[in-house]
């Protein structure tokens, strides 16, 4: 755009220079034409008899002759025509300046429109870029979060799988080691049974001895009178041979036999009782062993079932907790993404409003500057015309005739500033550019 302004300025400068040369050519041509007409009229006047006679009379009488009148009239006509032409050329230059200013303003408006379009296109592209970039970033975050959640869930399943494998392995080992454990417990119980049987045997042995002693004491207490008689029997046998003493000894022997039978019966009863107690004790320990087997089997099965149930519940609870946590993370991220989109939309909206306000302000300032420059140029043109009219009046020429004639000539000749395309103005007297016209261009040059 700067090149277009520079090219337009060069074109305007060339056209103004061309117009200046044309004006000088028109003025010189008009001057030559008027001078030729004056000489021709004077020559015709001199050739006429009235003219020669009048010339001799003028020398004698001292009054102005017709030649002087012709010269004066031609001088007035030349001055009037020159002022008309100069005013016409001045108005043409002013029209050209005005048209150049309009062209410059149109170019300036075009540049402003292009800048506005460029800014709007840049804003749209930046908006699309920011939206696409935010969308890509959010998609990457969503994908990363999804991959993270999948990895976390996979790790959790692997963790529970390891726990399940370890639990199954421990259950298998416990099931495998259960017979050995039961065997050890059974051996301990059988050892306790043997110890109890040995203690019971000792107790029965002591009980047998106690009962034998008691039976012997009882038999001794019952046979004590007979023993005294038997002791006196030999001594009495020495003294006399009484036959009743022999019968008493026979009774003692019978009692001794009965006592032996009682001891034998006691021993048999104790042995039967010992066998019964031993059988009861063995049955009790066998029952304890069977109950131990049943209790341990039930305990192992119950424990395994309870641990499996707890493991399944903990796995479901762990997956549920992780799923809820991941869902919360996902919701939080979606809310954050929504806030980011809203913030971006607000920033874009604020930037667009600021851009539109700046463009509106720039357009208003451009229009105001254009109106100011147009008004200043029109004032300068009016001032130049007033100065020209004052100068014309000082020369003793009727301004109405000059203005009316220049207007008629301008309308009939069709010369106007609309056909030119330059942007530099001339002053009213010298046809030069005004001092503030060039810097007014620089104000609108694009940076």
Model pLDDT for residues 100-121, shown as the tens digit of each residue: 888 888 888 888 888 999 999 9
Cβ–Cβ < 8 Å for 410, 88: yes
Provide, rounded to the nearest whole percent, the portion of the chain with pLDDT above 90: 27
pLDDT at 327: 96
Same domain, 413 and 379: yes
Number of C-beta neighbours around residue 359 at 10 A: 16
And the tokens for 297?
């089997």
Block residue for tokens 């908006």: 127
Whether residue 357 is contained in a domain is answered as no
Structural domain contains residue 57 = yes
Q: Is residue 334 part of a domain?
A: yes
Label residue 438 by pLDDT band (50, 70, 90).
Answer: very low
Residues 317 and 401 placed together within one structural domain of the fold: no
Residue 287 has pLDDT above 60, yes or no: yes
Domain limits at 315?
A: 161-225+251-340
The predicted-structure confidence for 148-196, as pLDDT tens digits, reads as follows 999 999 999 999 999 999 999 999 988 888 888 888 888 888 888 888 8
d(CA 407, CA 87) in angstroms, rounded, equals: 9
Angstrom distance (rounded) from CA 203 to CA 277: 11
Residues 6 or more apart whose CB falls under 8 angstroms from that of 130 comprise: 344, 348
Look at 100-104, 218-222, 231-235 and tell me which has the smallest mean pLDDT. 231-235
**Are 39 and 141 part of one and the same domain?**
yes
**pLDDT over 50 at 17, yes or no:** yes
The continuous run of DSSP H or E covering 251 comes out as helix 244-394
**Whether residue 268 sits in one domain with residue 216:** yes
Cβ atoms of 426 and 111 closer than 8 Å: no
pLDDT digits (tens, 9 = 90+) for 126-153: 999 999 999 999 999 999 999 999 999 9
pLDDT tens for each residue of 45-98: 777 765 544 444 444 444 457 777 877 887 777 778 888 888 888 888 888 888
Question: Is the domain of 297 the same as that of 427?
Answer: no
- What's the mean pLDDT when you consider all of the chain? 78
Decide if 380 is inside a domain: yes
Do 130 and 221 share a domain, yes or no?
Answer: no
Domain contains 153: no
237 domain-assigned: no
pLDDT computed for residue 130 by the predictor:
95
**Per the domain annotation, does 309 fall within a domain?**
yes
Closest CA to 284 of 168, 200, 347, 353: 200
The whole-number pLDDT of residue 168 equals 92
- Residue 319 pLDDT: 94
Do residue 168 and residue 316 come from a single domain? yes
What six digits make up the tokens of 398? Answer: 């009727």
- The Cα–Cα gap between 179 and 202 comes to 34
- Three-state secondary structure call for residue 158: helix
For the stretch 374-428, pLDDT in tens is 999 999 989 988 888 888 888 777 667 677 655 555 554 443 333 333 333 333 3
Whether 287 and 373 map to the same domain: the answer is: no
CA 233 from chain centre, in angstroms, equals: 136
Instruction: State both tokens at 45.
Output: 């006047």
Q: Which positions ≥6 away from 144 have C-beta within 8 Å?
A: none
φ, ψ dihedrals at 428, nearest 5°: -70, -30
Domain tally, the chain? 2
Neighbours of 87 (CB within 10 A): 23
Is 207 inside a domain boundary?
Answer: yes
Residues 198, 335, single domain; the answer is: yes
Claim to verify: residue 64 and residue 193 sit in the same structural domain: no
- Structure confidence by residue, pLDDT tens digits, 247-281: 656 666 666 677 677 778 877 887 888 788 878 88
Do 117 and 125 contact (CB within 8 A), yes or no? Answer: no
63's tokens: 């009054």
**Of 306, 340, 374, which marks where a domain is finished?**
340
Whether 50 and 351 have beta carbons less than 8 Å apart is answered as no
74 touches 37 (CB < 8 A): yes
How many other β-carbons are positioned within 10 Å of the β-carbon of residue 309? 10
In angstroms and rounded to an integer, the radius of gyration of the C-alpha atoms of the chain is: 75
Check whether 217 has a pLDDT greater than 90. no
CA 111/CA 71 separation, integer angstroms: 58
Between CA 78 and CA 36 the distance in angstroms is 11
Res 351 pLDDT > 90: yes
């Amino acid at each position: 755009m700067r090149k277009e302004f520079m090219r337009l300025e060069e074109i305007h400068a060339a056209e103004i220079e061309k117009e200046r040369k044309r004006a000088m050519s028109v003025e010189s041509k008009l001057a030559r034409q008027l001078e030729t007409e004056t000489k021709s009229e004077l020559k015709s006047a001199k050739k006429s008899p009235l003219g020669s006679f009048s010339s001799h009379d003028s020398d004698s009488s001292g009054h102005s002759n017709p030649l002087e009148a012709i010269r004066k009239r031609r001088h007035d006509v030349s001055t009037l025509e020159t002022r008309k032409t100069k005013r016409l050329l001045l108005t043409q230059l002013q029209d050209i300046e005005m048209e150049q200013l309009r062209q410059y303003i149109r170019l300036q408006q075009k540049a402003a429109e292009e800048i506005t379009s460029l800014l709007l296109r840049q804003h749209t592209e930046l908006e699309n870029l920011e939206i696409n970039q935010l969308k890509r970033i959010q998609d990457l975050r969503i994908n990363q979060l999804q991959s993270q959640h999948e990895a976390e869930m996979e790790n959790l399943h692997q963790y529970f799988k390891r726990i399940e494998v370890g639990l199954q392995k421990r259950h298998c080992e416990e099931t495998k080691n259960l017979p050995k454990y039961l065997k050890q417990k059974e051996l301990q119980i059988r050892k306790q049974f043997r110890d109890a049987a040995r203690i019971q045997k000792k107790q029965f042995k002591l009980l047998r001895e106690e009962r034998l002693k008691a039976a012997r004491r009882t038999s001794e207490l019952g046979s004590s009178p007979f023993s005294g008689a038997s002791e006196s029997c030999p001594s009495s046998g020495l003294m006399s041979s009484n036959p009743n003493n022999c019968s008493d000894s026979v009774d003692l022997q019978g009692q001794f036999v009965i006592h032996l039978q009682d001891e034998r019966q006691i021993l048999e009863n104790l042995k039967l009782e010992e066998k019964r107690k031993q059988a009861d004790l063995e049955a009790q320990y066998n029952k304890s062993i069977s109950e131990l087997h049943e209790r341990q089997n039930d305990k192992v099965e119950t424990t395994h079932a309870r641990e499996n149930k707890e493991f399944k519940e903990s796995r479901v609870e762990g997956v549920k907790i992780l799923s809820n946590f991941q869902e919360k993370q996902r919701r939080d991220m979606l809310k954050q993404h929504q806030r980011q989109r809203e913030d971006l939309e607000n920033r874009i909206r604020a930037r667009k409003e600021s851009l539109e306000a700046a463009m509106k302000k720039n357009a208003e300032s451009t229009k105001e500057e254009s109106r100011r420059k147009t008004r200043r140029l029109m004032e300068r043109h009016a001032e130049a015309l007033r100065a020209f009219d004052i100068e014309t009046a000082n020369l003793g020429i009727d301004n109405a005739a000059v203005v009316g004639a220049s207007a008629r000539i301008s309308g009939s000749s069709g010369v106007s500033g609309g056909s030119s395309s330059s942007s530099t103005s001339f002053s009213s007297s010298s046809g030069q550019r005004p001092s503030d016209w060039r810097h007014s261009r620089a104000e609108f040059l694009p940076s």
